[in-house]
Every structure is written in structure tokens, then in C-alpha cells.
Amino acid sequence: MSSQKKHPLITGTVILTLTGLITRVMGFFYRIFLSHTIGAEGVGIYQLIFPVYTLCFSFAVAGIQTGISRCCASALAQKNPAKARSYFSCGFFLSFSLSVIAAALLHRYAGFLSRSLLKEPRCTPLLQLVAWSVPLGTVHTCVSAWFFARKQTSVPSVSQFLEQAARIFSSVFFYLILSEKGIAPTPLLAASGLLAGELVASLFSAICLLFHFQGTEYKTPSPLPVPSYAACAGRLVALSLPLTVNRILLNLLQSGEAILIPSRLRQYGCSSFQALSIYGILTGMALPFILFPSAITNSVSTMLLPTIAQEQAKGNRKKIISATEKTMKYCLLLGIFAGGIFFFFGNLLGTLVYGNQDAGTFIQILSFLCPFLYLTGTLSSILNGLGHTSLCFFQNVVGLSIRIFFILFAVPRAGIQGYLWGLLVSQLVTTLLNLFFLHQKVSFSFYPLQWLFLPLAFLVLSCGMGLFVFYLCDSLFSLPGLWNLGITMGVCGISYLTCLLCSKQIHISS
């Protein structure tokens, strides 16, 4: 039996993780390219459109994506592929119809939203362009949800890679054309890349799905009862509607958060240029570094939801508890290591990669988010897989409310530092709520010595060795800064992994 069939969760996670890491490395180079072509202010303007864009996307597909994944996974666990296909067809039709409506409205009212909501008229052409990426994104999101329900990650992974590659290639291509004509690039360059990436990903996903549905399991009449499309649509709507409403409300809060940051920075005393630049550095340069290791935890989260849903359908409580405990352990091990790396080397990363000292300072402060950030995402996926979406919604609202409170009252007094404090407090509270809610539903055990204190001790030892190697290489070999930093972080990683293996905190076989 193949590894894919024996360990679909592990195999799928590995495939998604590798793809996620590759695309994020590509994304770093892309952000460096954008920071040098459109500047920090341009990056800030580009980032400013995402609250509105994400809101439209959530309206169209956020809840339905989860509904497709859960309903199809449950039907497949019952050995009823025809029923699973019916759920997918209904979900796709609903989602695509909503996406076309959202795209048309966004394109029509882009000017109003830019002036009245975002307070930045230069966002208008960007919103009009990315509006048409909403239906395209809906296609490959729904197709990915179908394959995730089947625990097949190849198509979503390749789609993710092609999307990033097309985004980068098209942006560079447009930049070369503009340079040849002597036209200065604007944030529209990045928006064009976004649209091109969604177009390529949706075409690839649609073609793969068409070939997939030619399989014999979908042509053979099902011996099991298949519900009508109306029944499928009814269950999908019942499951997806609360998720969609929750996601829209969360996106409204996130939109308010993103829009308020530049305005409160101006109250602090920053000019419009400075406020947008700081916002661009934080969201377009520093946060992507912090989120880079979450390529691993996001992959786990994606595979956990249908897995937990299937185990719940089978009544297999022991496997749910085991998956929860392993998830917590490995997310904490990763989060502690990543947090240490960003704390000790954050300033160097910001300076050497982006040539921006502020980015390094933000990375260093945000390093304390890592253990909580990575843990919350995966535990929320378990709660969603168990069907407790309202609990996830509540904890997210609490976290966002804390951040908005800090934006309103701390940023005008302390600048961007006030927002960073809010991020730390909100993430801590969200994680504690997540653990509390999950423990009420799943009686997992927590081992602070093995999962917290020993990894922290290994981290200090590893980073100490890394710093020694850094200064040794710097004084003896005079290596380029990035080479030296890469070697140092490699030494830290190997040392940390060796300590975990020697202490039997992790096992190669696992």
C-alpha cells in the first residue's frame, strides 16, 4: 500500500508544506522586487486594498469552501463518491454565482470605497482590476476543497505554485515593458500580477477537475442513495451560512483594523507618506517573515479539517485526541524555534533582506507571536472540523476587538509600537481561549516540561551556538552578510533538532 494511502494526513501535509515553503521563498523575492520598484508607500497602498478584496472573497467562498470540504469528506468516508460529487457541484455553483455578484459590485463601487472607506483614491484602479480575480479565485479554491476532502494534495499544491509563479513572472514582464517606455511603475503593477496568478491557477484547477471526473467511480451508478441537488444545497447552505456570516463579520473587523492604522498613525504625528510607508513595512515586509514558518502549520490545518470530520463521522475519539496532542506539541516546538530565530536575528533579516531597519525592529518585536500564532491556526482547524465554528468565531472577535482597542487608544499615543503591543496581547488571549474551548470538547493532555521548558532551553543553547558561529565567520572569513546569516541560522536549526532528537522529544520515525 502506498504511503499516500497509509498516511494521507502526513503525506498531504508534507506535500503542502514543501509547496508552501517554495512559494513563500518566491514570495520573499517578489516582495523585495516590489519594495525596490514601487517603494514602501506603494507597498502600503497595495496592502490597503486587501481588506476590501478579502471581504468580497469571504462573501463568495469562505464558508462554502469549508462546507464542501466537510460534506465531501463525510460522504467519501461513507464510500459514496456520487454523493460527494453532488455536494461539490452545488457548492461550486453557489460560490461562483456569489463571486460574480461580488466582483461586479466591487468594480462598480471601487471609487466610492477608495475615497470613503480606505481614504486613499489611488486604490480605485487597483480595486477595479482585482475585482475580476474574485471569480477566478473561487474556482481554484472550490476545486482545492474537493481534493482536500479526498486527501489528495497534488493539484492544490501545483495550483498554488503556478499562481505564485504567474504572479511574479507577469509583474516582472509588465515592469520591463514600463521601464522600456520610461513609465514609473505604480501599485497597479502588483495588482496585475495578482490577477494573472489567479487566472493561471483557476485554469489549471478546472482542467484537472475535468480529467478527474472522467474516472470510473463517477460513471458507475452508485449502490448507495444519492441526495437530490436541493437536499445537498440545503445542507451546504445550513453549514456554510453561519461560517460565511462569521467570516464576513471578522473581515469587517479586520478591514476596520487595517483602515484605522494609517489614520491613527497620522494622529500620532506621521505624514500621509510616513503612515503608508510604516503600514507597508509592517504588513508587506515584517509580517511575511513571521508568517513564513506557518507554511507548515497551515498545511497541517488544511489536512486536519477533513481528517477530523471523517474521524468524528466514524466516532473515533481516540484518534481525534491523538491528533490534537501531536498538533499542539509540534506547533509549539516550531513556534518556539521560529520565535527565537526572529528575536535574535530579526534586525539582521530586516536590514540584509529589505535594507530597512524598521522592518528588522518589527520582526524582532513580533517574534513573540510565533508560538501562539502557529498553535491557534491548527487548533482552530480542529474546532472547525468538529463543527464548533461559533467558538472559533467568538475567539477571533475577541482577538480583533483587542487589536482595534489598541489601535484606537495606543497608536495615537505610542505610534506603531502601540499596535504591536495589541498584536501580542490579542494573540495570547486568543490562544488561551482556543485551548480552553478545545479542552471542553477534546480531553487532551498538556505536558509543559516536554513541550515548553525543554524546547526553550534547547533554543537558548542553539541560538548561543549560532551567534558564536556568526561572529566567528564574520571575523575570520568576511562572508557576505546573507551568506553568514544563512549559515548561522542553519547551525541553529541543526543544533535545535539534534537536541530534540537526543532528548527523544521527536523521533525520526514519526
- Please, which residues have CB within 8 angstroms of residue 194's CB and are 6 or more apart in sequence? 130, 133, 167
- Domain coverage including residue 255: 40-212+224-268
Considering its fold, how many domains does the chain have in total?
2
**Residue at 482 is within a domain:** no
pLDDT computed for residue 10 by the predictor: 64
Residues 141 and 101 in one domain: yes
Helices and strands, number each (H, E), in the chain: 25, 0
Residues 248 and 315 in one domain: no
**Residue at 433 is within a domain:** yes
Give me the sign of the Cα torsion angle 491, 492, 493, 498. positive
Residues 199 and 297 in one domain: no
Residues 335 and 255 in one domain: no
Residues 249 and 279 in one domain: no
CA distance linking residue 393 with residue 87, whole number of Å: 24
CA distance linking residue 407 with residue 415, whole number of Å: 9
Measured CA to CA in angstroms, residue 314 lies from 35, 301, 309, 317, 418 at distances of: 50, 20, 9, 9, 47
Last residue of one domain, picked from the residues 446, 477, 494? 446
CA distance linking residue 83 with residue 75, whole number of Å: 6
pLDDT computed for residue 316 by the predictor: 77
Residues of the chain predicted below pLDDT 50: 1-3, 6, 224, 510
Last residue of one domain, picked from the residues 420, 446, 472? 446
**Residue at 494 is within a domain:** no
CA distance linking residue 258 with residue 44, whole number of Å: 11
pLDDT computed for residue 2 by the predictor: 47
pLDDT computed for residue 323 by the predictor: 81
CA distance linking residue 248 with residue 240, whole number of Å: 12
pLDDT computed for residue 1 by the predictor: 42
pLDDT computed for residue 224 by the predictor: 47
Residues 193 and 258 in one domain: yes
Measured CA to CA in angstroms, residue 94 lies from 142, 229, 312, 490 at distances of: 11, 12, 26, 47
**Residue at 412 is within a domain:** yes
Residues 277 and 255 in one domain: no
Last residue of one domain, picked from the residues 446, 467, 496? 446
Q: Which tens digits make up the pLDDT trace of 403-429?
A: 999 999 999 999 999 999 999 999 999
**Residue at 121 is within a domain:** yes
Residues 364 and 388 in one domain: yes
**Residue at 7 is within a domain:** no
